[in-house]
Amino acid sequence: NAGVTQTPKFRVLKTGQSMTLLCAQDMNHEYMYWYRQDPGMGLRLIHYSVGEGTTAKGEVPDGYNVSRLKKQNFLLGLESAAPSQTSVYFCASSYILILYEQYFGPGTRLTVT
């Protein structure tokens, strides 16, 4: 039981490049989330999903897209990376919206130059 895993752990992009971050969970959780963590700003919700095939915008969705084609996977895409997207990205999953704890992955550190 690996919990929540994220791929890759580190990545450096040049401005304008694209990439996809993969989040996988093996706990059969319905709900999955993508956050970004920036110094002094805590964690901010980018997008979330309440089930396979569904996604919704969070607090800071601009510049990101997501897909949930399989229940266990939640992908975060950057179509044209910008330096402002330099951050640590965390994926999380949970059984029931709000009521139960969110299980977090180890994070992906992304630098956009």
Site residues, other proteins (CB under 8 A): 4, 33, 35, 40-45, 48, 50, 56, 59, 90, 92, 97-99, 101-102, 104-107
Beta bridge partners of 63: none
In whole angstroms, the minimum distance from the beta carbon of 107 to other proteins comes to 6
In whole angstroms, the minimum distance from the beta carbon of 80 to other proteins comes to 27
In whole angstroms, the minimum distance from the beta carbon of 62 to other proteins comes to 17
- CA 4, 23, 53, 60 dihedral sign is positive
Beta bridge partners of 36: 44, 89
In whole angstroms, the minimum distance from the beta carbon of 104 to other proteins comes to 3
Q: Is 96 exposed, middle or buried (0-12, 13-18, 19+ CB in 10 A)?
A: exposed
Q: How many CA atoms lie within 13 A of 32 on its CB side?
A: 32
